Amino acid sequence: MQSAYYGYGMKSLILLGSWFPLMYFAQQGLVPTSSYFRDRLFESQHLIHHTDSVSISPGYNGSCFLPELEKSYNLHQEIRDRSSQYSDFTERLFKKHAVETQGKDAKIFISPVGEFSLGKELRDTSVNYLYKNSRGIQIQGDLFKNFSFQTAFYENQARLSSFERDFINQHGEYYTQSAGYSQQNGVVPGAARTKPFKTTGYDYAFAVGHFVYSPTKQLSIVAGNNQQFIGSGYRSLIYGNHHVGTPYVRTKFSFLKRWEWNFFRTRSMNLVRKKTYSTVEGYYQPKTIGINYLTWHPTQKLTINFAESTVWKMGDSLTTRSTHPLVFSPIPFSSRLVSKETAFSFYALTFDWLLWNSLRAYGQLITPFNGTFAGQLGLRISPNIPVRTLIQLEYNYVSKGMYQATDRLINHSNYNLPVAHIMGNGFQEFLLRIQGEYKRVYAALNTHFFLLTDYSHYNLQAIAYLTSTVNGSLLNNKLEIGYRFNQKLNVNIFGQCVLRKEWWEQGKSNMVFQMGIRTGLIDGINDF
């Protein structure tokens, strides 16, 4: 069934590609929220070449509510490939999409996307190898004067390492039984809900997309189900890009030169099947997440943001109801007018400060005013040297009970995954990233050290499936070396080693080696 659907989708995209060049041209596309593109966005120096001089701008100074429009910053300058190519084949391989069609007033781009990788977990005594077989296609277009769109479809089969399987299975969907619930299948971070494939593998497919309409320079309207990310860090304590994309609408409005407003609403899910249903399978428990996000630019190099994030109840395992009318209120603290069983909010104050041309500081402070809080402090260092270099230091703290509501149905979660940090509640994280890239060859080291306090993967799920918790520490190191063919699509050949160690009573260790080729438009998340 998936293959038939995939073939039908391919034909539909080709037909769309033949029609859209008749439209008008615009440049309103969104840039992916994967860490590679975020790093390019936050690099501290942007060289802008003029006819007779070179000047240095302070770099990105937007709202840090991502994805951003291409026109909002000089991304093309940051990822432009200036190499000289001597054939049409290498010019397309290194610099372009697979298909680029331009009409009089429109452009359309089509490219294959996915990942093919093979690996081995050294402490796995079985003969099974790890692999990921991901195939898909992406199509994007600039239409009319102020309209753009993008859509992509991925079909995947994978066998992953034991610690990734544990995480995926612990966030699976719940089915009602005579005595409580049973948990089945799983959820792959940044992708989709799964079904079993062979013995220890996963089969899953998902589609993402959006459209953008910008009637004026000050206003843009975006709708779709692509990933969002709020913040300047590697992690977000407000809204991360590791959970499953759900339908949303977002408006962005700039005013008084130094101010910006983002209004974001999305329909999310608890993966708990309803007890009574007339369809083949019961629906999940729906809920709404709303974010009001105000940005102030007091100087060219400093950005201060205030955010309010609220989860609104839309029923339970028996009934579904419309969301409360205050869901659509842009006025902060509106959710305080309803009961704690109807809405659960937290409030955040964040900053992004370019201290020098190569040093950026950032932070987030979040609280629901119930005695819990979360905080982030970080530095990005991007020295102006021939080797593109990034050094990032980040500290994240999330107290016990943070993101947990009085009613578990409105915890800050989506598809059984935390909405903010992928680890949920009750931890400290010390993060170090070191990257270098020279003439397409790159190396990257990510180190994550966690201190866990009464920690459980089930803390933010609607069902308290297991109540046991752990106290201890966790180390996740990943070293990756690769060759980046195409910066526009982040096409790269890579090899990586993951060393992970748990220090608690039932803790274990993992060492995983993998190699493959991929388009890095969506992060492959295993840093937990």
The full set of domains in the chain, from first to last, is: 2-519 (2.40.160.130)
pLDDT score at 159? 96
pLDDT score at 80? 63
pLDDT score at 15? 34
Q: Residue 225 carries which side chain, given as an amino acid letter? A: N
pLDDT score at 50? 29
Task: State pLDDT tens for residues 170-227.
Answer: 999 998 877 778 899 999 999 999 999 988 899 999 999 999 999 998 999 999 999 9
Tokens 């440049």 found at: 27
273's CB contacts (< 8 A; 6+ apart) are 173, 174, 175, 176, 281, 282, 283, 284, 317
Please choose, from the candidates 435, 478, 474, 471, the residue with its C-alpha nearest in 3D space to the C-alpha of residue 456.
Answer: 471
Please choose, from the candidates 499, 524, 525, 497, the residue with its C-alpha nearest in 3D space to the C-alpha of residue 510.
Answer: 499
Instruction: Record the tokens describing residue 198, joined without a space.
Output: 């062979």
Cα Rg of the chain, angstroms: 23
Task: State pLDDT tens for residues 319-343.
Answer: 888 889 999 999 989 999 999 999 9
pLDDT score at 60? 65
pLDDT tens digits in sequence order for the chain, 528 residues long: 344 333 434 343 333 333 333 333 445 678 899 999 999 888 854 433 222 333 334 456 678 999 987 766 555 455 566 677 777 777 778 878 889 898 877 899 999 999 999 999 998 877 789 999 999 999 999 988 889 999 999 999 999 999 999 999 999 999 887 777 889 999 999 999 999 998 889 999 999 999 999 999 899 999 999 999 999 999 999 999 998 999 999 999 999 989 999 999 999 999 998 776 666 677 899 999 999 999 999 998 999 999 999 999 998 877 888 889 999 999 989 999 999 999 999 999 999 999 988 899 999 999 999 999 999 999 999 998 899 999 999 999 999 999 999 999 999 999 999 999 999 999 999 999 999 999 899 999 999 999 999 999 999 999 988 888 999 999 999 999 999 999 889 999 999 999 999 999 888 999 999 999 999 999 989 999
Q: Is the pTM of this model over 0.95?
A: no
pLDDT score at 103? 84
d(CA 212, CA 61): 21
Q: Measure Cα distances from 519 to 96, 132, 134 in Å.
A: 13, 13, 10
Dihedral sign for Cα 93, 96, 99, 100, please: negative
